[in-house]
Every structure is written in structure tokens, then in C-alpha cells.
Amino acid sequence: MAQLDMPVTLADLQRHRARRTVPLRLQHRQGDVWNLAPPTQGLASLAILGISDRLAMAEADETETVHRLVEATKLAFGLRDAHITDPACLAGDSQALLEPAALQALAARVDERRAAPWGAGKGPGDTVWMGVIDNSGLAVSFIQSIYHEFGSGVVLPDSGIVWQNRGAAFSLDPAHLLALAPGKQPFHTLNPAAARLHDGRVMVYGSMGGDGQPQTQAALFTRYVLQNAPLQESISRPRWLLGRTWGQSSESLKLEGRFAPETIARLRALGHEVEVLADFTEAMGHAGAIVRHPDGLLEGAFDPRSNGSAAGF
């Protein structure tokens, strides 16, 4: 880095300490759901589920499911963009934003008849999610990213390690919530999820995809937990993405082409700017999940949009 005249020094790296943090927790009517605290967007993923938990998702048809979750996403992303930064710079308690009264107030803003206006999101990433549950029941939800195909483009010559690029999240505006400052942690999109349901099931799940991560998590959780779809079907069914995809600036609501024409037409009638993509597009992320059932049965599912897999040993 010194050879490249980068401002990060060896002393900066030596001062860094990894910290074990307490995850955020959502009390959902189906059980407890956990995700990572700031500076990740775990708050947004939990907020989508918390808002939609108040919108009768179990009885929703396909159009209602997409519309309600998209509207919940807009509200959750607003929460994210207003609050998430380095924990040392937070003005309040992130967990308090997931309290029932706060979520109910957000849910009350969802209009069943009209899509709310939508602005810019945070953009995509370059990420891999992995999950594992062993025969003792120990469950891990894990995610890794270098942010862009080759991260920062800086490679350590002695090891071949590629440095990640999460500093791209900083703003050069000193008044911005994510203003660049010495020792400050950048916002990032990584947020592996886990749930312990009231019926005894334990679930780890996640996806790659930047802004798409919370949306894919919401689709998977809603279909599997609330609408009782099989786990693999919950991942394989057509998905949607609100906002930008990799290398694209479009802020439309993108739908895979496998959605029913009636669903697409109804969403447009609700005011969504719909863009139809390929039937199985990588723009929708690569999701995965493992569920441990109360009798000890382990069930895994992977995304047909990816080269991932589910395996038991």
C-alpha cells in the first residue's frame, strides 16, 4: 500500500481489533429472527420482515406479496439510509427501531392501492453466502464479500490476497452520515440471517446481491415460513428486485419473466415501474438456506440461478 501511496498505514492495521457484537433481533409472530448490527444493513432485512408481519402476508396472493414486500423494502431502506453507520457514530439504539410500535408506525404507511415513490438505493456487491448446521444443532449463517469483482484491485504480492473495496461506501461530504473519517467503519450490505421459529425449526439463510439481499431474504422467509411453500420452491420461484443491478443505473422494479402476466399487469396498475428480466437472472442474487426440523432432520436448498449446492456429509 505504501508503494501505491495509499493513506492506510501499517500502524492503522495494527490498531484494528475485531469485535464480537450482539446481533439485532426481531420478534416475529412466527419466532425470533436475527441479523447483524450496524454498520451492516441487517436492520433493513429485519425491518422488512417486521413491517410485513403486520400486513397479512400468509393470505396474500402473488401480486399482494410482491407489492407489500416492495413497499416494506422502501420503508426499511429509508430507515437504513437514515441510521446505519459506524456503531461508534450512531445517534441511537438500532434495536429500538425494531420495537413493535416503531414497526407498526411504518406498516401503517404502506398503501395497498398505490406504490410509493422510490429513489436511489445503495447498489450491488460481490458476495457469497454460506450456511451450515451440524448434527448437534449448531447453526452458522456466514457471508463474505470483496465488493466488486476484484475488490479494491489491490493485491498483496506475497500472498495473493485481494483487498476488499467497502471504502466505496464512504461519502466525501463531511455532513453526510457516511462521511469519510479516520478509523471509521464503512457501511456495508453483508447480512447473514438466522431464525428460531416457535414450532422448533431453526433456519439459516441468506443471499448475495447488495440491495437485493434484504429483498431476497424477505421473499424466501415469507414463502417458506408464512405461505408454507417447500424450502427449495421458496428459493426457485420467480423473484423481484427493487433498484439497481450490477453495472446498471435503473431504479425500476425488476421481475423475472416467469411471473404470471396478470401479476405483472396488476403491479404496473399499482404504479410500479416494472421491468421484466430473464426467467432465471443472476440479478436476483444467489440464495441458500438450511432448516433443522424439531426431529433433527436437516433440509437444504440452493439457488438454480447460481453454481451453488446443498450437501450433507
Which value, to the nearest 10 degrees, does the dihedral of the CA atoms of residues 129, 311, 162, 245 take?
-40
> Counting Cβ atoms within 10 Å, is residue 103 exposed (0-12), middle (13-18) or buried (19+)?
buried
The answer to whether residue 127 is catalytic is: yes
For the beta carbon of residue 234, count every other beta carbon within 10 angstroms: 21
Question: H or E segment at 82?
Answer: helix 62-83
Distance CA 70, CA 49 (A): 11
72 neighbors 225 (Cβ within 8 angstroms)? no
Active-site annotation holder among 40, 65, 127, 216? 127
253 neighbors 267 (Cβ within 8 angstroms)? yes
Parallel, antiparallel or unpaired: strands 253-256 and 274-277 = parallel
Distance CA 102, CA 111 (A): 17
Catalytic annotation, residues: 127
